[in-house]
């Protein structure tokens, strides 16, 4: 069986947007199942793009909500989060749009409700009336009754949508779930909104951990696995006996640049160490196996930097387009999870400061970065914030630790004290081919409690010079 639901909450009745109002389209950041289950290998990311029609049945592009298979009526909840620029008080409309395929209403009722935070109750929006049993995909649209501002949790910006079945007679499939919220066009100053504490099963690096940063999986010979050198032992700047990494930050892919590097991860774990999965969440890279999945519309300017002043084949992404980018990032995070990684490093998540070729606001970047952290947590992985020092205060509650390049060079390291003060690790790298030295880098890093290393920009296995 195959099915799809497209959820869209918007602030308009009969499709009319009030004057002096804007609309914001959201995709779900998490899916929580209370009773029943969902299809094997499927996740909330499948609900972020509507790509099923007619009788299409691509298992990897929808979510099967299981009542019959699980032998119980289904009940689950989707969470959406408004950007901080849209306060709850400004919301004037909410619309739910569902793209559905499953049993008819007579056979099994599937119902959608939205939570009213003022009354503490669920408000019924509609059900699968008018659908044909396992016919073609059917788009249903429901408008939420007012006052719609009560449907947004003021402290977090969350909107909750519940989906339930009346019995365990059958399953139903959903393909897309997007919310469109109508709100006043004024944009207030963003207010930090704390995210829930990561689950107890997440690996969280300690401030005493020592890291290695090797993004080129090209090491060979004894003591290597999956192109990653695992027998490093170097005397640190602090002196004494040689020390080894306890955390390896490596690329998602193996030396073939196609296969997830399960070999390296297993070897790292066998040594009692942990592995961080590197992915670029803010740029398109032409050498990645999924490069062809990115439409031209989200590719922007070339990325400056690198050993020769540029990063060939790399372009900034339009992080405003969550509908396109989040499913692609979800697929990458899922590969990190499947390969056995403990965490994810999201790189290039500061495009708003780098002339990406799009008008990206700080609020746009903030919404994207928070959604990335939620993706990692949804897959049981901790999330590392790479750079983006300008938004540390607004992201520290979402991310579990920080990774920073060259904060010593640019005199920015003090900003990372916010992570240290919250008991979270900070991993720092300075590049010797940009003039960094241990004598300048290590004393302040060690004093502050940052785990700093010196590397070259090519990020091969060596050189690796730890400060402690």
Q: Rounded to an integer, what distance in angstroms lies between the CA atom of residue 130 and that of residue 27?
A: 25
In whole numbers, what is the pLDDT of the chain averaged over residues?
A: 89
pLDDT bracket for residue 188 (50, 70, 90): very low
Question: Given this model, what pLDDT does residue 79 score?
Answer: 87
In the sheet with 283-285, reading across from the earlier edge strand, the strands are 283-285, 310-317, 299-304
CB contact at 8 A, 4 and 50: yes
Q: Rounded to an integer, what distance in angstroms lies between the CA atom of residue 53 and that of residue 198?
A: 36
Q: Rounded to an integer, what distance in angstroms lies between the CA atom of residue 29 and that of residue 159?
A: 10
**Which of 58-62, 161-165, 226-230, 265-269 shows the lowest per-residue confidence on average (mean pLDDT)?**
58-62
Question: Residue 195 above 90 pLDDT?
Answer: no
Q: Rounded to an integer, what distance in angstroms lies between the CA atom of residue 461 and that of residue 318?
A: 32
Question: Residue 264 above 90 pLDDT?
Answer: yes
Reduce the DSSP state of residue 256 to 3 states and report it. Answer: coil
Q: Going from the N-terminus, what domains does the chain have, and what CATH number goes with each?
A: 21-184 (2.60.120.260), 211-466 (3.20.20.70)
158-186: b (≥16 Cβ within 10 Å) or e = bbbbbbbbeebebbbbbbbbbbbbbbbee
The model's pLDDT over 204-262, given as tens digits with 9 standing for 90+, comes to: 999 999 999 999 999 999 999 999 999 999 999 999 999 999 999 999 999 999 999 99
Q: Choose the most confident range, by mean pLDDT, from 14-18, 185-189, 236-240.
A: 236-240
Question: Residue 16 above 70 pLDDT?
Answer: no
Peptide bond into 147 cis (omega under 30): yes
Question: Given this model, what pLDDT does residue 452 score?
Answer: 98
- Predicted TM-score (pTM) of this structure: 0.61
Give the residue-averaged pLDDT of 63-82.
Answer: 89
The model's pLDDT over 283-301, given as tens digits with 9 standing for 90+, comes to: 999 999 999 999 999 999 9
Q: Rounded to an integer, what distance in angstroms lies between the CA atom of residue 131 and that of residue 136?
A: 9
DSSP class of residue 176 equals: B
Question: Given this model, what pLDDT does residue 198 score?
Answer: 55
Question: Given this model, what pLDDT does residue 15 score?
Answer: 41
Question: Residue 81 above 80 pLDDT?
Answer: yes
Give the residue-averaged pLDDT of 327-334.
Answer: 96
pLDDT bracket for residue 68 (50, 70, 90): confident
**Which of 176-185, 373-382, 413-422 shows the lowest per-residue confidence on average (mean pLDDT)?**
176-185
Tell me which of 446 and 146 has the higher pLDDT.
446
Question: Given this model, what pLDDT does residue 263 score?
Answer: 98
Question: Given this model, what pLDDT does residue 61 score?
Answer: 87
Reduce the DSSP state of residue 124 to 3 states and report it. Answer: strand
The model's pLDDT over 36-48, given as tens digits with 9 standing for 90+, comes to: 999 988 888 888 8
62-96: b (≥16 Cβ within 10 Å) or e = bbbbbbbbbeebbbbbbbbbbbbbbbbebbbbbbb
Q: Rounded to an integer, what distance in angstroms lies between the CA atom of residue 169 and that of residue 165?
A: 9
Tell me which of 282 and 32 has the higher pLDDT.
282
Question: Given this model, what pLDDT does residue 196 score?
Answer: 46
Q: Torsions phi, psi of 21, nearest 5?
A: -135, 155
Q: How many C-beta atoms lie closer than 10 Å to residue 278's C-beta?
A: 23
pLDDT bracket for residue 18 (50, 70, 90): low
Beta-carbon contacts of 66 under 8 Å, excluding residues fewer than 6 positions away, are 36, 37, 38, 39, 74, 171
pLDDT bracket for residue 1 (50, 70, 90): very low
Give the residue-averaged pLDDT of 100-110.
Answer: 95
């Amino acid at each position: 069986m195959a099915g799809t639901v497209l959820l869209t909450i918007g602030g308009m009745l009969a499709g009319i947007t009030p004057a002096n109002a804007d609309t914001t389209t959201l995709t779900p950041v998490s899916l929580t199942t209370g009773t029943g289950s969902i299809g094997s290998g499927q996740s909330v990311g499948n609900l972020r793009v509507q790509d099923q029609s007619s009788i299409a049945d691509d298992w990897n592009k929808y979510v099967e909500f299981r009542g019959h298979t699980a032998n119980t009526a289904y009940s689950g909840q989707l969470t959406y989060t408004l950007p901080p620029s849209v306060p709850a008080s400004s919301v004037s409309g909410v619309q739910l749009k569902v793209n559905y395929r499953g049993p008819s209403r007579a056979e099994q009722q599937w119902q959608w409700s939205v939570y009213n935070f003022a009354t503490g109750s669920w408000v019924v929006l509609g059900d699968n009336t008018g659908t044909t049993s396992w016919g073609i995909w059917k788009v249903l649209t429901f408008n939420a009754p007012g006052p719609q501002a009560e449907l947004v949790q003021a402290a977090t910006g969350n909107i909750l949508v519940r989906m339930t079945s009346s019995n365990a007679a059958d399953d139903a499939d959903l393909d897309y779930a997007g919310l469109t919220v109508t709100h006043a066009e004024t944009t207030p100053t963003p207010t930090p909104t704390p995210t829930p504490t990561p689950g107890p099963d997440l690996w969280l690096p300690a401030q005493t951990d020592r890291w290695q940063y090797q993004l080129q999986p090209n090491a060979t010979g004894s003591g290597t696995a999956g192109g990653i050198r695992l027998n490093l032992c170097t005397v640190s700047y602090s002196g004494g006996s040689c020390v080894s990494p306890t955390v390896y930050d490596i690329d998602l892919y193996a030396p073939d640049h196609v296969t997830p590097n399960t070999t390296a991860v297993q070897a790292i774990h066998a040594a009692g160490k942990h592995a961080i999965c590197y992915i670029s969440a803010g740029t398109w890279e032409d050498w990645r196996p999924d490069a062809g999945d990115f439409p031209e519309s989200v590719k922007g300017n070339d990325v400056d930097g690198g050993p020769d002043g540029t990063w060939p084949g790399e372009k900034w992404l339009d992080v405003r387009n969550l509908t396109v980018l989040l499913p692609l990032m979800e697929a990458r995070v899922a590969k990190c999870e499947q390969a056995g990684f403990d965490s994810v490093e999201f790189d290039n998540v500061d495009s708003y400061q780098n002339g990406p070729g799009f008008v990206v606001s700080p609020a746009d970047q903030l919404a994207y970065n928070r959604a990335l952290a939620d993706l990692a947590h949804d897959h049981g992985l901790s999330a590392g914030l790479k750079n983006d020092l300008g938004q540390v205060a607004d992201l520290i509650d979402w991310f579990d630790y920080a990774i920073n390049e060259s904060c010593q060079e640019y005199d920015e390291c003090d900003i990372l004290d916010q992570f240290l003060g919250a008991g979270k690790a900070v991993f720092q790298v300075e590049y010797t081919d940009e003039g960094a030295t241990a004598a300048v880098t290590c004393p302040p890093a060690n004093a502050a409690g940052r785990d700093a290393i010196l590397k070259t920009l090519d990020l091969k296995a060596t050189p690796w010079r730890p400060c402690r």
